[in-house]
Each structure stands twice: as C-alpha cells, then as structure tokens.
Structure 1
C-alpha cells in the first residue's frame, strides 16, 4: 500500500477510534489529568519484590497528584478501595498491577512495608502512601524515587 494511502487509513482509524472511545467512555475512579505528571523520556522501573501481600491492608495517602490526598486506601483480596470506590487490583508483573483499567507501578516500598511510592507509568497519577499517615524520613526517600523516575513533584498535594 502506498505511504499516503497508509497515512489516510491510519488517520481514519484513529478518528473512528476517538469517536468510539468518547461515546463509550467508562466511569473511572480518579479524575483524568490533561498534562502528564511524568516526563516520558525519564527512565522508569517498578520494585521487583513488591507483591499484593506486601501491599495488603490500610494506607493513608500522604502526598499525591491525580488521587485524593488524605484518603484511606485499602488493599485486600484482589481489590483496591480508595474512599468509596473499589476496583480490581491484580498483579501483572514484579511490582506492577492492573487497577481497574489502569496500570499502576510500585516504584518504592520500604523494607518494613510502611511507606510506598506508586504511579501510573504514563504520568496520569502518582502518590505516596503510608500505613500511619506519618512517614517521617521515608517521605524524603519516596519523593526522591518519584523524582528520579521523572514525576513532577511540584504538582503533588500534601495531606494536612
């Protein structure tokens, strides 16, 4: 197929998909952000020893962008509950999870499972959560990891 024909074909496909996507937009638990929170050229990784078992239990969102700060987050039995919304939470790889329709990576979890830095690798959202809501020195470590992976920390809100 000629290059200009391919270009028209792909543009038509993308336009059709866009119309379809907007007509069938699913209800999501978190607001969409128009400008990504992460530099897509920065390196990124997940922490390979993080499992759903290590994340199980209650957490407090202490800093975040794209997630309600101060909210309680609970992980249990293949579900993550944030406030009143519960979504399937399934491991897809080392430190990587499917949360509803979205991919979420754990970028850092301290050795005692007290504080975690998490984010959507495309930059839709990021957050730091802690078991007590008072991470102390671990907050600095979590922020450094998110910064290293290209997240824009100036867009994070802090719990009061």
Structure 2
C-alpha cells in the first residue's frame, strides 16, 4: 500500500504553517482602511535633515530622536539615511519610495515641508519626522491625525 495518499494532506497542512514558525512582523495599521501617499511635493522638497519625533517600533532603525537625511539622486533614486543606516530607494510614484524590500510612503507633509509622516501599506512601521528643532503642537496633532486617517493605531504609538 502506498503512503503517498496519506502524506499529501499532512504535507499540505504543514506548508500552511509558514517558514519555521517565524511570526510575521506586527502591523500597526488596519488593513481594512485605505492608505494613500501625498502628491504634495517631490523628493527634492524632502531633501535635507530631519529628526524623528514619534515612531512605531519596527524593522527599520527609527526611534524618536533618530536623525534622518533624505538625498535625492539621479534617475529617481533617493537615499534615506536613518541614523547610521543607509536605505537606497527608488521613487515609484508621488510620495512613494521602494528599496531593499521596504516601501516608504510619505503620507503627509505640512505646507512648508517642516513636518512629514512616513508609513508603509503593510503597517510594519511608521514615523513622524520634523526638521531639526522642536515640532509645534499643532503640527504634531495634524501628523497624528494623518496616521489615524491612514489606519494606524495611535494607542500603539509610543
């Protein structure tokens, strides 16, 4: 008697378990809420130095106080320096950048490009960054509202 018919359902069930029981990265946003990137500005408007003022913990080395530098290059390339880590990306659309298996979406910027909200469609991370100096309470409130609008759970934002 062949064991193949008995093993096939077990193999199929094992394949559904995923690789080595590694838990998926947590998501900080609801997948049921649409998310959108801003069409305001370009990478050139984001260029320069920023400081993270609030951040969800995630796979990128971004925490409150992390310095971020955005440097547009040729052909749609944009280098994001996150602390001491470099993340080379390519612009894929307005406010959208992809690099090393990570999508960075600029969800919102204020009119003067002093405060920005960066997130990702899968919700594994997100942060609020401001030009060096203290963020104003009204811009922080607006940035938090944009995270909420895009489905992020504000209760989980440290």
Q: Normalization by structure 2: what TM-score? A: 0.76
Deviations along 1:73-96, one digit per CA (max 9) or x if unpaired, are 001132111111001122100111
1:33-112 matched pairs, under 5 angstroms: 34-66=25-57, 67-76=62-71, 77=73, 78-112=78-112
Instruction: Tell which structure's C-alpha radius of gyration is larger.
Output: 2
**Partners of 1:50 and 1:146 in 2: CA distance:** 19
Deviations along 1:7-58, one digit per CA (max 9) or x if unpaired, are x8xx86x949x65xx8xxxxxxxxx973210000012111112311011100
Is there any run of 5+ residues in structure 1 with no aligned partner, and where? 1-7, 23-31
CA change 1:45–1:112 in 2 (3 A) is: same
In the other structure, the counterpart of 1:154 is 155
CA change 1:89–1:154 in 2 (3 A) is: same
User: What secondary structure, in the 3-state scheme, does the structure 2 residue paired with 1:45 have?
Assistant: coil
User: What secondary structure, in the 3-state scheme, does the structure 1 residue paired with 2:88 have?
Assistant: strand
Alignment check: 8 A CA contact 1:61 1:133 kept: no
The root-mean-square deviation of aligned C-alpha atoms, in Å, is 2.5
In the other structure, the counterpart of 2:126 is 126
Count of aligned pairs between the two proteins: 137
Is there any run of 5+ residues in structure 2 with no aligned partner, and where? 1-7
Alignment check: 8 A CA contact 1:87 1:99 kept: yes
